[in-house]
Structure 1
Amino acid sequence: MTAPAPLTWLYVPGDRPDVVAKALHAGADAVIIDLEDAVAPDRKEYARAATAELLSAPQPLPVHVRVNALDGPLAEADLRAVAPLPGLAGLRLPKVTSRAEVIRVAERAVPADGGAPALHALVESALGLEHAFAIATAHPALHGVSLGEADLRADLGVRDEAGLNWARSRVVVAARAAGLAPPAQSVHPDIRDLDGLAASCARGRALGFLGRAAIHPRQLPVIERAYLPTPAEIERAEEITKAAATDEGALALPDGRFVDKAVVEGARRVLALARRK
């Protein structure tokens, strides 16, 4: 059986191996070791070496690494250091603007047999957003695409969350059209604002996102609660799948609701998500 997609992704700075070690047991579904924005320039080499040391052995949960900017001098060294390691589950590619960038990394980092690591593109600019579908379909090794909203806000001059709704929908549609998993939301930067995080997750879920990246363990339970189905949603999904088990075509439920194949598939996804814990 295919493992369920992560709901919670916890970012940690690569130059803090003590923090990384704690993050592996903080309750996240996956950990992202950051070699890019969270690491000062004079700490880049140390972060890379510490990350490579950790990933030289398998880890208790999926660990991804966000490498440095693909058009800069550090990304090649990052890829060379971590891509072959057994503890690496995936590579997060920052500030992607074209399919060519994904292809270059795939040719460099992915073995000819198509094995790990999986690639994940972060769209963080207007240009990247315009090319979202091309990026999402760039290479079979690409398993996901999502937004990097801090940089995107700056590029677009967006002042509040409402200004990102179109961009968020664009990346959700691109992922779906490319046959990828629904994207996870970008981080909520205020680690104290748990109510704001919950409200933002609710909006993201309504737009079609699945799960979210976090920058502090206290954010993880909020994200999980927001994205797991409610008891009412589970009950409705069970009702739909039970009815569909005896009817291959469109059907009407006892309360008059009309159900077709797409609704049934959605109900099955709800139940699969509910069973993940």
Structure 2
Amino acid sequence: MNEKIMYLDPNEVDTDPRLQVRSETVYGDDSRGEAESLAALRKRLFKIVSAGEHTDPIEVFRDGDEWLVFDGHNRLQVYQKVAEKTPTKIPAIVRPYSFKEALSLAYMVNTRHGVSVSPSDATRAAFRSCIFSNDGISTSELVKQGLGERLAQKVRQAARQLIEEAEVVRSDDENDIIGKVTRWCKKMAKEGYARAGLETIPTDHLGFPSYRFVLDRKPIEDRSEAARIEQMARSIEKLVEQDEDVFLAALKRVSRKTRLDLPVSVKRREKRQEDLDEDLDF
């Protein structure tokens, strides 16, 4: 199918970090070599564009009054660099997406050209897309984009679980969904799934948890002294609630047996007159 290509001023096309599939670490010190591959790609594209030729079209969509790049962040960056010295236009295919639809389809980015995203970034993108689409992506579609069938099934299972627990509904827009996922992550932290002092659980560069966390999460056992004191205090409170006198007597016995010399004196409470009256009321 022949797709209509427009030629846009590269400086009139914007980017949004929520549409970037690659994690931010790729653009720093990346041990997998992905950053080096991207740098080599941009250098090669720069030579092409500087010579007055064109690269493959980028894909864009309209969001309000601005053009946003859906696929082709590196090509756009190169064209914008060239445009600093030489006026140029960038070829673009316009997609009829809303912002939410673009986020739902982001798992397909970088699967047909350029430097492929890492398997981990591809998995994260697929997981996010399943959530934004409200489980609207089939296992077979994920497999077509490079995920193994078993992995694709687990990603969809985790997405369905997070959608339910975070109370994401089809009418939510992208901001509603991100907000609900953020609150869910903070809730998980409060319930003991984050390390001490952290307000949220580990997330990707867009604030989403991993599919593994959703499926296999376990509370993190905090073995710090403060945490152990708090845990023991809660246990003691339950014993005191059962019978304060018995608890004090038991504590005194432990003090003697272990020679801790605890400053514990046991004095039985005298029943109040109203308690006695209640006992005789029949």
TM-score by length of structure 1 reads 0.29
Higher alpha-carbon Rg: 2
TM-score by length of structure 2 reads 0.28
- Which is helix-richer, 1 or 2? 2
- Which is strand-richer, 1 or 2? 1
